[in-house]
Structure 1
Amino acid sequence: MSTLTFAGQSAARRADDRAVGAWLLAVCGMIFAMAVIGAITRLTESGLSIMEWAPVSGVLPPMSQAEWERIFALYKQTAEYRELNAGMSLAEFKTIFWWEWVHRLWGRLIGAVFLAGFLWLLLRGKLRRGLTPHLIALFVLGGLQGALGWFMVASGFAERTDVSQYRLTLHLGFALAIYAYALALAIRLRWPSAPASADAAGVRRGLWAFAGLVAVTIVAGALVAGLNAGMSYNTYPLMAGEVVPANYGVHAPWWLNWFENVAAVQFNHRLLAHLTVVAGLALWVWGCFARLSEEARRALAWLALGSLGQLVLGVVTLLAVVPVWLGAAHQAGAIVVLSLTIWALSRVRAPGVGAAGV
C-alpha cells in the first residue's frame, strides 16, 4: 500500500491535511462510541434481540404493534429466551431491542459519515497523493466489520444462550484494528511535526512491543466478556483465596483453558493487565533517562498513567461484579490506552524517520 510523505508541503496542503485529519478523528470518535455501545449491548444481554440482518430496511424500527409482535416471536425461538428470559413481556423485550437497534444504527451512521466525507474531500481535491488507497481500505474493512457483526450474532441463534466468545473477540478486535488504523492516519495528517530524538529508535521498539501487549490484553478482555468471566472470582488480588485458581487447568487439551475456562481466562487477563502497567511504567522511566524530546516524554507519561488508571478501573469493575456502566467504562478505558499507545508512537521519532511515523 502507498505511503504518505510530508516533505515540502504548502500552507494550503497543510490546511487540507488538517481538514482530512479532523474528519478522520470524528470517525474515530464514532468508532469509540460504537465500542462502548457494543459493551452496553453485551452487558445488558441485548445482542440476540434482533434475529434478522436487514442492512437497508433495518434502519427503521418496528412501526406497528403487529411488527413488534413479529420481532418478539422471532426472539422467542432462541435458547436465550427459553432458558433465561422465559415469560419476558413485550415491554421488557423492547428494552433489549433498543440497545441492539441503536448499536446497528450507529454502525450504519459510521459508514454514511465516512463515505460522505470521503466523497466530499475527494471531489474538492483535498486528499493528498497516496491517501486514497488507505481510505478505500478503511471503508472496505468497515463493511467487512458489519458482516462480521452478523456472523457473531448468528452464533447465538442455535443452542447457545449467548454469542460465541471467539466471534465476539474477533468482532471487537477487528473494530479496534480499524480504529487504530484510522487514528494513526488522522495523527499523521493533523499533527505531523514530531521533533526527532537521539534515543528514540530503541524506545520505539519498546513501544511496538508494548502495543502488542496491549492488543493481547484487549483480546483477553474480550474473552472475559464473551464468557461472562467477570461475574466470577470477584475478589482482588487473590482468586478464591489463591494466586492461581485451583481449576485453572481443568480442560483437556490444556491450551483450551485459555479460551473456554472462566478461571483461566480471567486469570490471564489479570496477569496481562498487570504486565501492561509494568511495561508502561518501564517505558516512562526509560523515557525519563533517554535523550528524548519533551513531547515524547509527555506522551510516555500519559501512556503510563493511562495504563495504571485502566488497571484500577478494571479492579473496581471486578469488585463491583461488573455493573453495566463500569463495564462500559472499562472497555472505553482499553480504547484510551490503545489511543495513547498510537499517540506515543507518533511522538517518539528517531532522526531520519518521517514526521509522525506510526
Structure 2
Amino acid sequence: MSFSPTARPRALANWLFFVAALIVLMVVIGGITRLTESGLSITQWKPISGIVPPLSDAQWQAEFEHYKRIPEYQQLNQGMTLAGFKAIFFWEYLHRLLGRLIGLAFALPLLWFAVRRQIPRGYSWRLVALLALGGLQGAIGWWMVQSGLSVRTDVSHIRLAVHLLVALFTLAGIVWTALDLRKLIRNPQARPARLTGLGALTGMILFVQLLFGALVAGLNAGLVTDQWPLMNGRFFPGATVEGRPFLDALFNDPAIVHFVHRWWAWVAVAALILLARATRGIDRRASIAIHSAFGIQILLGIATVMSNMNITLAALHQFTGALLVIATAWGAHAVGQRR
C-alpha cells in the first residue's frame, strides 16, 4: 500500500499511542469511580456546560439537591454531608472531563491530518470508525448512568460491562491501527496485518474474561469472599439465591460471576501463552509484554480478593487489564503481519 508524499504515518502512530494512553487512564479513573460508588453523583448530562464544575456554594447545593432525589441517596446515603458529596462528585466529574478530553484529543488532530492530506490511503475510514466508537462510548456512559437514577441504587452491571468493553475494544482498535501505521514508516508498501485464527480465538477468550471482570465490578462480586483459591471454604460457592435459572445466575448472581471470572482466567492464560509463543519469533517484545501483563494481572487479582477489595489494588488490577488488552492486540498484530 503506497501513500502520497504528504502522508505522515509516524506522526499518526504517535498520536494514536497518546490517545491510547489517555484511554488507559480513563479505564483506571472509571474503575475508581465505581469502587468509590461515585458514578451517580452527577445526575444530569450536559456535554458542553458540564465542563465547568460547581464554583459557588449555591451551585454545590443545587447539585447536592439533584443527588438527594435519586434512590442511591434516599436508601443508602441518607445524612451524607456536602463534603462527602463533593468527594464522590470529584471522581465522576474527573471521569467525564477526561472523556471529553479524549474526544478532543482524537477529533481535532484527525481533522488536522485530514485537511493536510497526511493520512495514508485506506486509513481514513478506520480512523473515522474509531472516532464514532468514541462518540458511542459517551452515549453508552449516559445510558449506564440513567439505569441508576430512578429505581435502582446503582447502575446496571450489564450496562457497565458494555461501557467497559466498548472502551477496551476501542483501545485495541487504536493500538492495532497505530501498529499498522508504524509498519508504513519502514515500508511504504506494507499491508495492514490480518487477524489470524489464533488472534481471534485469544481475543474471544479474553473478551469473556473481561466481560465477567466488568460484571464482578458492577455486582460488587469481589466482596463475596476474601479467600483464594477457595470461596468461603468451598471450591464452588453455589448461587447466592437458590433456584435461579442457570443463565440468570451466570450473569446476575455475584457468587457465580466471581467464580467464573476467577477460573476462566486460567483458560485465558492458556490462550495467551499460545499467542505469546507464536509471537516470540516475530516480535519478542510483544511476547514478553503478554507474559508480563497476564502474570501481574493474576497476582493483582488474587491480592485484590484477599485484601477484601482494597481500592488501590483493585485500580491496579483494572490498569493491568487495560495493558493486557494492549499486549494481546500487539501479539495478535505481530502474528497477523503479511510479509
Using the size of structure 1 for normalisation, the TM-score is 0.87
Q: How many angstroms apart in 2 are the aligned matches of 1:73 and 1:268?
A: 40
Q: Residue 286 of structure 2 corresponds to which residue in structure 1?
A: 299
1:249 Cα deviation after fit: 7.6
1:22-66 superposed Cα distances (whole Å, 9 cap, x missing partner):
111111111111111100111011000001100011010012111
Q: Residue 221 of structure 2 corresponds to which residue in structure 1?
A: 229
Q: Residue 141 of structure 2 corresponds to which residue in structure 1?
A: 149
Q: How many angstroms apart in 2 are the aligned matches of 1:159 and 1:293?
A: 51
1:186 Cα deviation after fit: 0.8
Q: Residue 72 of structure 2 corresponds to which residue in structure 1?
A: 80
Q: Does structure 2 retain, via aligned residues, the 8 Å contact 1:211–1:341? A: yes
Q: How many angstroms apart in 2 are the aligned matches of 1:75 and 1:267?
A: 34
Q: How many angstroms apart in 2 are the aligned matches of 1:250 and 1:311?
A: 30
Structure 2: runs of 5 or more not aligned: 188-193
Q: Does structure 2 retain, via aligned residues, the 8 Å contact 1:250–1:257? A: no
RMSD: 2.2
Q: Pairwise mapping of residues 61-100 of structure 1 onto structure 2 (< 5 A)?
A: 61-100=53-92
After superposition, the Cα gap between the structure-2 partners of 1:283 and 1:26, relative to the gap in structure 1 and judged at 3 Å, is closer
Q: How many angstroms apart in 2 are the aligned matches of 1:135 and 1:298?
A: 26
After superposition, the Cα gap between the structure-2 partners of 1:293 and 1:49, relative to the gap in structure 1 and judged at 3 Å, is closer
Q: Residue 176 of structure 1 corresponds to which residue in structure 2?
A: 168
Q: How many angstroms apart in 1 are the aligned matches of 2:274 and 2:125?
A: 37
Which residue of 315, 318, 337 maps to 2:302?
Answer: 315
After superposition, the Cα gap between the structure-2 partners of 1:281 and 1:248, relative to the gap in structure 1 and judged at 3 Å, is farther
Q: How many angstroms apart in 1 are the aligned matches of 2:57 and 2:88?
A: 17
2:47 is aligned with what amino acid? P
Matched, 1:238 2:230: yes
Which residue of 179, 182, 189 maps to 2:181?
Answer: 189
1:132-163 superposed Cα distances (whole Å, 9 cap, x missing partner):
11121122221111111000001111121110
Q: Residue 34 of structure 1 corresponds to which residue in structure 2?
A: 26
Matched, 1:343 2:330: yes
2:290 is aligned with what amino acid? L
Q: Does structure 2 retain, via aligned residues, the 8 Å contact 1:274–1:311? A: no
After superposition, the Cα gap between the structure-2 partners of 1:74 and 1:249, relative to the gap in structure 1 and judged at 3 Å, is closer
1:283 Cα deviation after fit: 4.1
1:124 Cα deviation after fit: 1.9
2:156 is aligned with what amino acid? S
Q: How many angstroms apart in 2 are the aligned matches of 1:133 and 1:9?
A: 15
1:13 Cα deviation after fit: 6.1
1:246 Cα deviation after fit: 3.0
1:170 Cα deviation after fit: 0.7
After superposition, the Cα gap between the structure-2 partners of 1:83 and 1:223, relative to the gap in structure 1 and judged at 3 Å, is same
Q: Residue 120 of structure 1 corresponds to which residue in structure 2?
A: 112
1:347 is aligned with what amino acid? A
After superposition, the Cα gap between the structure-2 partners of 1:251 and 1:146, relative to the gap in structure 1 and judged at 3 Å, is farther
1:72-120 superposed Cα distances (whole Å, 9 cap, x missing partner):
0010111111222111110110011011111101111111111110111
Structure 1 stretches of 4+ with a deviation exceeding 3 A read 191-194, 292-298
Which residue of 122, 133, 138 maps to 1:130?
Answer: 122
- Which secondary structure does the structure 2 equivalent of 1:62 belong to? coil
Q: Does structure 1 retain, via aligned residues, the 8 Å contact 2:304–2:314? A: yes
1:241 Cα deviation after fit: 1.3
2:283 is aligned with what amino acid? A
Q: Does structure 2 retain, via aligned residues, the 8 Å contact 1:107–1:146? A: yes
Q: Does structure 1 retain, via aligned residues, the 8 Å contact 2:229–2:235? A: yes
Q: How many angstroms apart in 2 are the aligned matches of 1:92 and 1:58?
A: 20
Structure 1: runs of 5 or more not aligned: 195-200
After TM superposition, the structure 1 stretch with the greater mean CA deviation from structure 2, 220-229 or 141-150, is: 141-150
Which residue of 313, 316, 323 maps to 1:326?
Answer: 313
Q: Residue 190 of structure 2 corresponds to which residue in structure 1?
A: none
After TM superposition, the structure 1 stretch with the greater mean CA deviation from structure 2, 97-106 or 132-141, is: 132-141
Aligned-residue identity in percent: 40
Matched, 1:279 2:279: no
Q: Does structure 2 retain, via aligned residues, the 8 Å contact 1:166–1:223? A: yes
Q: Pairwise mapping of residues 99-114 of structure 1 onto structure 2 (< 5 A)?
A: 99-114=91-106
1:141 is aligned with what amino acid? L
1:326 is aligned with what amino acid? L
After superposition, the Cα gap between the structure-2 partners of 1:205 and 1:95, relative to the gap in structure 1 and judged at 3 Å, is same
After superposition, the Cα gap between the structure-2 partners of 1:13 and 1:190, relative to the gap in structure 1 and judged at 3 Å, is farther
Q: How many angstroms apart in 2 are the aligned matches of 1:128 and 1:86?
A: 57
How many residue pairs are counted as aligned between the two chains?
333
Using the size of structure 2 for normalisation, the TM-score is 0.92
